[in-house]
């Protein structure tokens, strides 16, 4: 169901706030910390910000100049299978201050364009076309996920906010896609998802009477569907079978199946709200 103008405006505010949080953290970093490695193999803090800025610009181009967007993406893909990494490699000499300014400007421009075109406007992307509402949700998810890599590299806690609901929702609606990316048929079985939001509010998806279910915190679910944590390093609980299999393959992002994080990488580390603290038994 398409978002109405009020909910779309709220989504855009959440995207802006998630971006502002990341800018605030990065703006205080000395230059050497921009070169720190993140949990994403071979990606530094600098690479993470470049990635967000670059694809934010592409998203804007899709709405403002579709012909230029097609030319840019075709040229990008023609550079080889590692084209995503090449985006970073070609910009590693860009100073941190300029990189951060690029990201902030890119995100502000995209926000203005999305607000102007409205939630139902469509753009081409890497795969099927998508609406402006889907674009905003995807950019928020990417900001949250790549931001998590930066917070992890710096040893900082990712701020817990109910903006993570957008990431969770994307993780739910991409369930079939995640299986397909691995050449698998998604089970035709409904799964009940019961999460506790950072604010303590219960969030649910799927039929209340479904036998297959996942329970835990919204933050842990978002970490799993963005592949920033292995399922074993979270407090999520899943019934055996379909629900557990979903967590094994989940990915809320477009593109090829990701490798995620190895189990044990973050074991014993605090990942935000605790399911036990929020009343899960």
Token pair recorded at residue 167: 């990431």
What whole-number distance in Å separates Cα of residue 225 and Cα of residue 252?
Answer: 5
Q: What is the mean pLDDT of each run of 10 residues along the chain (281 residues)?
A: 86 98 96 96 97 98 96 93 94 97 98 98 90 97 98 96 98 95 94 98 98 98 97 96 96 84 73 42 25
User: How high is the pLDDT of residue 274?
Assistant: 44
User: How high is the pLDDT of residue 273?
Assistant: 56
Count the alpha carbons within 13 Å of 36 in the hemisphere toward its beta carbon.
Answer: 18
Instruction: Name beta bridge partners: 214.
Output: 193, 238
CB atoms within 10 A of CB 131: 18
Token pair recorded at residue 31: 């230059």
Max distance between CA atoms of the chain, in angstroms, equals: 55
User: Measured between alpha carbons, how far apart are the two ends of the chain, in Å?
Assistant: 34
- Compute CA 193 distance to the chain's CA centroid, rounded to the nearest angstrom: 19
Count the alpha carbons within 13 Å of 100 in the hemisphere toward its beta carbon.
Answer: 18
What whole-number distance in Å separates Cα of residue 1 and Cα of residue 261?
Answer: 33
User: How high is the pLDDT of residue 268?
Assistant: 57
Burial of 234 (0-12, 13-18, 19+ CB in 10 A): buried
Instruction: Name beta bridge partners: 204.
Output: 194
Q: Give residue for tokens 């299986």.
A: 179
Nearest CA to 215 out of 142, 138, 278, 141 is that of: 278
User: How high is the pLDDT of residue 272?
Assistant: 54
Nearest CA to 168 out of 122, 235, 106, 223 is that of: 223
Nearest CA to 24 out of 111, 107, 123 is that of: 107
């Amino acid at each position: 169901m398409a978002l109405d103008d009020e909910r779309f405006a709220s989504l855009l505010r959440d995207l802006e706030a998630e971006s502002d949080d990341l800018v605030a953290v990065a703006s205080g970093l000395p230059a050497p910390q921009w070169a720190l490695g993140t949990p994403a193999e071979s990606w530094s803090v600098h690479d993470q910000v470049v990635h967000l800025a670059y694809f934010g610009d592409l998203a804007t181009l899709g709405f403002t100049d579709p012909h230029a967007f097609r030319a840019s993406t075709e040229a990008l893909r023609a550079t080889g299978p590692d084209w995503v990494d090449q985006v970073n490699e070609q910009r590693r000499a860009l100073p941190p201050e300029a990189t951060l300014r690029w990201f902030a400007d890119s995100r502000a421009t995209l926000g203005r364009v999305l607000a102007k075109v409205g939630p139902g406007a469509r753009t081409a992307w890497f795969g099927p076309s998508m609406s402006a509402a889907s674009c905003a949700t995807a950019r928020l998810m990417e900001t949250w996920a790549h931001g998590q890599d930066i917070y992890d590299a710096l040893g900082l806690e990712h701020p817990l906010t109910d903006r993570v609901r957008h990431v969770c929702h994307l993780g739910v609606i991409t369930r079939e896609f995640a299986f397909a990316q691995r050449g698998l048929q998604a089970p035709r079985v409904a799964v009940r998802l019961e999460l506790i939001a950072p604010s303590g509010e219960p969030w649910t998806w799927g039929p209340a009477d479904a036998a297959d279910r996942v329970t835990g915190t919204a933050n842990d679910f978002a970490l799993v569907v963005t592949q920033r944590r292995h399922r074993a390093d979270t407090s999520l609980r899943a019934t055996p079978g379909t629900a557990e299999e979903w967590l094994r393959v989940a990915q809320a992002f477009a593109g090829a199946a990701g490798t995620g994080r190895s189990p044990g990488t973050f074991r014993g580390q605090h990942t935000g709200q605790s399911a036990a603290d929020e009343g899960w038994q």
